[in-house]
Amino acid sequence: MSYYQHPSAIVDDGAQIGSDSRVWHFVHVCAGAQIGAGVSLGQNVFVGNKVVIGDRCKIQNNVSVYDNVTLEEGVFCGPSMVFTNVYNPRSLIERKNQYRDTLVRKGATLGANCTIVCGVTVGEYAFVGAGAVINKDVPAYALMVGVPARQIGWMSEFGEQLQLDDNSEAICSHSGVRYILNGKILSKVDA
């Protein structure tokens, strides 16, 4: 085994977990899960069968990653945040054939206690604030807060809020990387 598994964790036969990943206390990883290298699964995390988790993701305590969720490289899932996979669940009606795909792109942050309603895409390096409810697609680099979530700004890849100037450009104060807004799309400018 090329990853760490705490003795209390359950990893079903068939699950794929990359090297240098850490599976902590009371985690359950189902047989069909595909988990990349350098991933951290915090205490009490559940990972379903039809889940793909990219390299270097961090899933904090008490997060359930249900079927049909894909996390690209470097996604951060804050403590107790929530994914759904059925849009209109009923206990008395079987809807497993109605799962909606959810995609979280590279480098995105999903804050503590936020909810990602199934069927959306969260763009690269987007930042979802604590407690926000995402019920529609989120653009790359967008800063989202509230219930339902609304965009209040833009974030750099470094994780700092960007301040756009009169030319719709911004420079990350920590990394020095420049960004430009063209319509409703923010892009990193190649150095």
Asked if 163 and 181 count as a contact pair (C-beta separation under 8 A), the reply is no
- Identify whether 148 is part of a domain: yes
- The pTM of the full predicted model, rounded to 2 decimals, is 0.96
Would the pLDDT of 1 be above 90?
no
- Identify whether 187 is part of a domain: no
Give the number of domains in the chain: 1
Phi, psi of 97 (to 5 degrees): -85, 5
Look up residue 113 and give its amino acid: N
pLDDT in tens, 105-163: 999 999 999 999 999 999 999 999 999 999 999 999 999 999 999 999 999 999 999 99
The average confidence (pLDDT) of the chain is 97
Output the domain CATH number for residue 19: 2.160.10.10
- Identify whether 181 is part of a domain: no
pLDDT in tens, 72-98: 999 999 999 999 999 999 999 999 999
